[in-house]
Structure 1
């Protein structure tokens, strides 16, 4: 295994630590209180452990430490700018961009000046790890990403607690829209990876028939934007994974 497998494993560690190994309530507490949040310390520890374990490098504990400490300061400072008049629209993307930038730089420096010495030889390559990461990203991370896009675009809806992939109809099943969004992304990613692009078009058409019958313009536009973002993310993930 080489640098490709190593960097993709670190991306996987980031996705797990920042999205799956913290609840929404704890994440909101961290984003609100910043350095005063007790969970921020635990989150930093989680980042360190996932980064180190998935590096499969005993000596990378220093690199994982740098990634974790930078994560601590970035998340702590982020809380101060969540309500900033200018930066609040893009603070999520700045936060994630800085995390990924640090991850790439630390991984490259470690590989360049220390070299890679995997403690075990994984039976999978970078492409397989990338596919696993892409599927995971189609779940909770994309839901959060779409919500942040709506927030940054100042698309305010009447019901702020609704999941982005749902319509505004409160008579619908709770969380049904979120589940629909996850399923459509998983199917879209699968179709892209196996080269069945026509099936993606069929899936979009099928959802259009079922979801766009309402005459409420606000509701239709809301669902349309969420759907395009959902499908677009899955398609982009599929193309990037297939390309690399």
Structure 2
């Protein structure tokens, strides 16, 4: 459960607490990356302080935020050296994988589980607390991180860039994708599997006319299946762990 909490905090700090514009500036200026890592450190300490020994969690947060800074710097350097669009999905995936490895690795190295507070000992056996952590972890993955992952996937497979006028449609698609994943996640978490078909059908009806365009239909199918797969795998893994 503690690893799920740590992963959730990482995703919230890395996605929810920074805008796309700030993320872009982070690629250009080292100082912006440093500020992001400092905010990342503060978020970890603030959330974990009530359930861990404060000295241990400050040390853990400092190590994690430092590794976070260097991993991001290396990724930004690689993106400048290899600016090809097809590599963006790979860089993003590998970057997040390294963050996860660092978090899990230092969790075991520092033996964090043995430094929990009395509050956590009481909460961990509470079924409502487990459900809360499950929902928080699921939604921390399927909202902004999933949106960025799918966008990077489309950038990698698309041979061309799109004009600014197309950005409004992309924003609408992003919101629809988040709503779709949210509804599907709630249905899966409550074992309402039969209703998922209605969600996908409603989405398809809204795009029915555009399906005549082969290029759009292929991208629609890739986006929808990837979106659904992210939710399904996330819930299956987390239900097994928690």
TM-score (normalizing by structure 1): 0.83
Cα pair 2:44 2:61 within 8 Å, conserved = yes
The change in CA–CA distance for 1:44 and 1:94 in structure 2 (over 3 A counts) is same
More helix per residue = 2
> Paired residue for 2:16?
20
Deviation at 1:173, TM superposition (A): 6.4
**Which structure 2 segments of 5+ residues have no match?**
none
Query: Does 50-59 or 122-131 show the bigger shift?
Result: 122-131
Which 4+ stretches in 1 moved above 6 angstroms?
A: none
Task: After TM superposition, list the pairs within 5 Å mapping 1:57-76 onto structure 2.
Answer: 57=52, 58=54, 59-76=56-73
Cα pair 1:138 1:186 within 8 Å, conserved = yes
**Which structure 1 segments of 5+ residues have no match?**
163-167
TM-score (normalizing by structure 2): 0.83
Cα distance in structure 2, aligned partners of 1:227 and 1:136 = 19
Cα pair 1:8 1:129 within 8 Å, conserved = yes
Deviations 1:61-96 (A, max 9, x none): 111111011111111111111144486551111111
- Given the alignment, which residue of 181, 184, 192 partners 2:177? 181
Deviation at 1:227, TM superposition (A): 1.5
Cα distance in structure 1, aligned partners of 2:115 and 2:164 = 45
Deviations 1:115-146 (A, max 9, x none): 22326334654443122121232222211010
Count, aligned residues: 228
- Given the alignment, which residue of 122, 137, 162 partners 1:159? 162
1:82 counterpart SS class:
helix
Cα pair 1:185 1:230 within 8 Å, conserved = yes
1:120 counterpart SS class:
helix
> Paired residue for 1:144?
148
- Given the alignment, which residue of 18, 31, 38 partners 2:31? 38
Structure with more contact order per residue of length (Cα contacts < 8 Å, sep ≥ 6): 2
